[in-house]
Amino acid sequence: TRRITVHDIAAAKARGEKWPMLTAYDAMTASVFDEAGIPVLLVGDSMGNCHLGYETTVPVTLDEITMLSAAVVRGTSRALVVADLPFGSYQEGPVQALRTAMRLVKDAGVGAVKLEGGERSHEQIRLLVDSGIPVMGHIGLTPQSVNTLGYRVQGRGDEAAHQLLRDAKAVQDAGAFAIVLELIPGELATEVTRSLHIPTVGIGAGVDCDAQVLVYTDMVGLTPGRTPRFTKQYMNLRESLGNAAKAFAGEVVGGAFPAEEHTFH
C-alpha cells in the first residue's frame, strides 16, 4: 500500500466524492483511524486543548507538534498526515514558514502542512508550495486568533462574507490543495465550495463542503464538559475509560486481579 497524496485528494474532488478527516496526536489512535480507512489525519494544534492541557492552541510549540506528528506518521501506513504550523511559527513571513514546514516534513515525515489565514498568509502558502510542500489552508474561525476573534461564527453579514470569499480565493491562488472552513454559515460555505476548484473541509460549515473534519476527542466523547454544537459524539469513550479504570481499581482492592491466569509459577 502507498500513502494517499494530494493528487488522490484532487481526484476525489473531480469524482465528486466526499471524504472524512480526523485529528490524531499519537501512534496508536492514528493506527486505529488508518485501519478504519480515514484518508487524511490532521495533527492539529488542537493537541493543545486535547492532549497537552492548555486552554487554547496559542501556547503549542513546534517541538510539541513535531514530536506528535512523528508518532502519527509512525503509526500509519496509508493516511496522508497533515501537521498544523503552530502559532508564532509562520506569521513573521514566508521564510519563517518554510523553516517551520521543513522541520515537520524532514524530522516528522508529514506529507503536508496546514496554516491559518487567507489573504494574510498568501505569501507563506506560495513559498511552501513552490518549495514542494503541499499546504492546506484554514479560514473562518481560526483558533490561533482567539484573542482577537473570540470563538464565534465568522463570515456573517455581507462585508465579512465577501472578505471570506476573497480569503478562500487567495488560499487557492497561492497553491493550497485544500482549505478548512471553520464555523461559518452553511450557505456561505456552499458558495465558497462552488467557487473553488480545491476541496473545502468543513467544521461547523454545513453539509455542502467536500470533506468534513472533527477533533477526534469530540468524535469519541473524550472531551470533558460541553462541546460545540457543530461536533458530533459517536461514542462515550470518557464513560467507558472511567468504567474500565473503576473496574480495575475494584479488582485490585478486592484481590480479584491478578487471577491465576495472569500469574507465573
Active site residues: 182
Binder among 25, 30, 33, 44 for Na ion (CB under 5 A)? 44
Task: Give pairs for 203-211: CB < 8 Å, separation 24+.
Answer: 203/230, 204/141, 204/153, 204/228, 204/229, 204/230, 205/140, 205/181, 205/230, 209/181, 210/12, 210/13, 210/18, 210/19, 210/178, 211/18, 211/19, 211/20, 211/21, 211/40, 211/178
Nearer to Na ion, 114 or 126 (CB): 114
Q: Does 218 bind Na ion (CB under 5 A)?
A: no
Select 34 or 182, whichever has its Cβ closest to ligand KIV: 182
> Can you tell me the distance from the alpha carbon of 258 to that of 252, in angstroms, rounded to the nearest whole number?
8
* Shorter beta-carbon distance to ligand KIV: residue 150 or 254: 150
84 binds Na ion (CB under 5 A): yes
- Report the distance separating Cα 23 and Cα 141, nearest Å: 17
**Is 31 known to sit in a ligand binding site?**
no
Nearer to ligand KIV, 62 or 162 (CB): 62
Instruction: Flag whether 46 is marked binding.
Output: yes
Question: Applying CB under 6 A, does 23 fall inside the site for ligand KIV?
Answer: yes
Task: Note whether 215 binds ligand KIV by CB under 6 A.
Answer: yes
The answer to whether 24 contacts ligand KIV (rule: CB under 6 A) is no
Does 140 interact with Na ion (rule: CB under 5 A)? no
**Cβ pair 30, 79 in contact under 8 A:** yes
Q: Which residues contact 114 (CB under 8 A, 6 or more apart)?
A: 42, 44, 82, 83, 84, 85, 135, 136, 137, 138, 180
Chain positions 79 to 98 lying near ligand KIV, rule: CB under 6 A, are: 84
Q: Could you give the CA distance from residue 146 to residue 58 in angstroms, rounded to a whole number?
A: 8
User: Using the rule CB under 6 A, which residue among 34, 45, 191, 210 binds ligand KIV?
Assistant: 45
Q: With CB cut-offs between 5 and 8 Å by kind, which of ligand KIV, Na ion, none does residue 180 bind?
A: ligand KIV
Angle at 29 between CA 24 and CA 35, to 5 degrees: 105
User: Has 116 been labeled as part of a binding site?
Assistant: yes
Residues that bind ligand KIV (CB under 6 A): 23, 42, 44-46, 84, 138, 180, 203, 213, 215
Summarize the annotated binding site for Mg(2+) as residue ranges.
Answer: 45, 84, 116
Residues that bind Na ion (CB under 5 A): 44-45, 84
